[in-house]
Structure 1
Amino acid sequence: MYKPTIGILTWREGTTFKEPEYFRQLLRAGRRLGAAVFLFSPGDVNVKSKKVKGIFLSSEDKWASRWFRWPDVVIDRYWYTQKPIFKEYVAFRKQPHFLYANSRFANKWRAHEVLYNDENMRKWLPETYLYTSQQRKLLEMLRRHQVIYLKPINGTGGRGILRIDQQNGYYRMLGRDKNRNKKAAVARDASSLTLRVKRWIGRDKYLLQQGLDLGLLRDRSVDIRLLIQKDGSGEWKVTGMGVRVGPENSATANLHGGGKAVEAKPFLASHFGEEKADEIIRECHQLAHQTASTVEGHFGRMMELGLDIGIDVIGRVWLIEINPKPGRDIFREMGQPDLYKLAVQRPLQFALFLTSQQTPDGQWVWSGAELQTKQRPAKQMAKFRQY
Structure 2
Amino acid sequence: MTPKKVIGILTWRAGKRFAEPDYLSRLVKAGRELGAEVFLFSHQDVFAKDRKIRGFVPKAGGGWESNWHSWPQIVIDRYRRRVPEYMKLRHSNLFEFANSPFSKKWRVTELLANDARVKMWIPETYVYSPEKLKAMLRQYPILYVKPGIGTGGKSILKVSARGKRYELQGRDKRYARTNASLQRAEEVNQWVRKWVTEQRISNGNFLVQQGLNLELIPNRVTDIRLLIQKNEKGQWSVTGCGVRMGESGSSTSNLHGGGRAIPFHRLVTKRFGEERAQQILRECHHMAHQVAFVLEEKFGRMMEFGLDIGVDVDGKSWLIEVNPKPGREIFKQMKAMDLYAESISRPVQFAMHLIEEKEGNCIRLAK
TM-score by length of 1: 0.89
1:97 paired to 2:94:
yes
Per-residue CA distance 1:340-362 (angstroms, 9 max, x = gap): 00000000000000110113897
Distance apart, 1:96 and its partner CA: 1.4
Match of 1:88 in 2: 85
**Where do residues 214-233 of structure 1 align in structure 2 (5 Å cutoff)?**
214-233=214-233
- Say if 1:109 and 1:153, in contact at 8 Å, map to a contact too: yes
User: What is the rounded CA distance, in whole Å, between the counterparts of 1:299 and 1:165 in structure 2?
Assistant: 35
Match of 1:201 in 2: 196
Equivalent residue in structure 1 for 2:111, among 100, 111, 114:
114
Match of 1:276 in 2: 276
- Between stretches 55-64 and 118-127, larger displacement belongs to 55-64
User: What is the rounded CA distance, in whole Å, between the counterparts of 1:251 and 1:47 in structure 2?
Assistant: 47
Match of 1:265 in 2: 265
Gaps of 5+ in 2: 198-202
Per-residue CA distance 1:67-121 (angstroms, 9 max, x = gap): 112101100001136xxxx122112211111110100111111101221221011
The one-letter amino acid paired with 2:329 is D
User: What is the rounded CA distance, in whole Å, between the counterparts of 2:361 and 2:237 in structure 1?
Assistant: 31
Deviation beyond 6 Å, 4+ runs, structure 1: 360-365
TM-score by length of 2: 0.94
Match of 1:312 in 2: 312
Distance apart, 1:237 and its partner CA: 0.4
Distance apart, 1:62 and its partner CA: 4.2
Per-residue CA distance 1:227-285 (angstroms, 9 max, x = gap): 00000010000000001000111111111111111110121110000000000000000
Match of 2:165 in 1: 170
Match of 2:140 in 1: 145
Residues 242, 49 of structure 1: alpha-carbon distance in 2 compared, 3 angstrom cutoff? same
Distance apart, 1:130 and its partner CA: 1.1
Distance apart, 1:60 and its partner CA: 5.0
- Say if 1:80 and 1:154, in contact at 8 Å, map to a contact too: no
Distance apart, 1:204 and its partner CA: 3.7
Match of 1:57 in 2: 58
Distance apart, 1:6 and its partner CA: 0.8
- Say if 2:134 and 2:189, in contact at 8 Å, map to a contact too: no
Match of 2:44 in 1: 43
The one-letter amino acid paired with 1:192 is E
- Between stretches 240-249 and 200-209, larger displacement belongs to 200-209
Distance apart, 1:168 and its partner CA: 3.4
User: What is the rounded CA distance, in whole Å, between the counterparts of 1:50 and 1:255 in structure 2?
Assistant: 41
Distance apart, 1:43 and its partner CA: 1.1
- Aligned residue for 2:256, secondary structure, equals helix
1:252 paired to 2:252:
yes
- Between stretches 115-124 and 185-194, larger displacement belongs to 185-194
User: What is the rounded CA distance, in whole Å, between the counterparts of 2:265 and 2:336 in structure 1?
Assistant: 14
User: What is the rounded CA distance, in whole Å, between the counterparts of 1:277 and 1:364 in structure 2?
Assistant: 48
Residue identity over aligned pairs, in percent, reads 48
Match of 2:80 in 1: 79
Residues 92, 363 of structure 1: alpha-carbon distance in 2 compared, 3 angstrom cutoff? farther
Equivalent residue in structure 2 for 1:160, among 137, 155, 164:
155
Residues 364, 172 of structure 1: alpha-carbon distance in 2 compared, 3 angstrom cutoff? farther
Aligned length: 359
The one-letter amino acid paired with 1:298 is K
The one-letter amino acid paired with 1:120 is R
User: What is the rounded CA distance, in whole Å, between the counterparts of 1:182 and 1:364 in structure 2?
Assistant: 60
- Between stretches 114-123 and 189-198, larger displacement belongs to 189-198
- Between stretches 112-121 and 348-357, larger displacement belongs to 112-121
- Aligned residue for 1:257, secondary structure, equals coil
- Say if 2:12 and 2:19, in contact at 8 Å, map to a contact too: yes
Per-residue CA distance 1:181-238 (angstroms, 9 max, x = gap): 2222223323322222112111540111000111111111100000000000100000
The one-letter amino acid paired with 1:129 is Y
Residues 286, 361 of structure 1: alpha-carbon distance in 2 compared, 3 angstrom cutoff? closer
Match of 2:332 in 1: 332
The one-letter amino acid paired with 1:122 is K
Match of 2:200 in 1: none
User: What is the rounded CA distance, in whole Å, between the counterparts of 2:364 and 2:169 in structure 1?
Assistant: 49
**RMSD value over aligned CA atoms?**
1.8
- Between stretches 322-331 and 212-221, larger displacement belongs to 212-221
Gaps of 5+ in 1: 366-387
Distance apart, 1:335 and its partner CA: 1.2
Distance apart, 1:155 and its partner CA: 2.7
- Between stretches 53-62 and 339-348, larger displacement belongs to 53-62
- Say if 2:261 and 2:334, in contact at 8 Å, map to a contact too: yes
- Aligned residue for 1:358, secondary structure, equals helix
- Aligned residue for 2:265, secondary structure, equals helix
- Say if 1:357 and 1:364, in contact at 8 Å, map to a contact too: no
The one-letter amino acid paired with 2:64 is W
User: What is the rounded CA distance, in whole Å, between the counterparts of 1:234 and 1:69 in structure 2?
Assistant: 24
- Say if 1:358 and 1:364, in contact at 8 Å, map to a contact too: no
Match of 2:323 in 1: 323
User: What is the rounded CA distance, in whole Å, between the counterparts of 1:113 and 1:314 in structure 2?
Assistant: 25
The one-letter amino acid paired with 2:122 is L
- Aligned residue for 2:108, secondary structure, equals helix
User: What is the rounded CA distance, in whole Å, between the counterparts of 1:143 and 1:154 in structure 2?
Assistant: 26
User: What is the rounded CA distance, in whole Å, between the counterparts of 2:363 and 2:44 in structure 1?
Assistant: 25
Residues 42, 362 of structure 1: alpha-carbon distance in 2 compared, 3 angstrom cutoff? farther
Match of 2:124 in 1: 127
